[in-house]
Structure 1
């Protein structure tokens, strides 16, 4: 697979992933005390961090989108 995630997109994905991971495991909000929200936020956070690191988004590939200029 070729890279399809640009720099700004990667930064935003990494920030959102880190925030979701923080909310899931380190925050004391009552919403994230329930397992459904806690683990959903953790999984989405890990996916966001992974797509940011790998520069590949499977959904972008299916839709034919690219946010990188180098690709």
Structure 2
């Protein structure tokens, strides 16, 4: 599994994922659209944790910087 998610992309996924999970659990009850928002939030956090996005692989996107060897 080749990592294809950069640092800024990881942080954005974590923040958005946590926001979606917070939306899901707002007011102590499950709000409207909780299944979609909660699932999407968990997927974003999981892809940030592993630094790998299968959709990026299919689309040929790579936000990770190439390491330069000096």
Give TM-score, length-normalised by structure 2.
Answer: 0.86
Structure 2 residue runs of 5 or longer lacking an equivalent are none
Higher relative contact order (CA 8 A, sep 6+): 1
Q: Which has the larger radius of gyration?
A: 2
Structure 1 residue runs of 5 or longer lacking an equivalent are none
Give TM-score, length-normalised by structure 1.
Answer: 0.84
CA RMSD across the alignment? 1.4
Instruction: Answer yes or no: is 1:4 the counterpart of 2:4.
Output: yes
Give 3-state SS (helix, strand or coil) of 1:43's partner. Answer: helix
Residue correspondences, number? 65
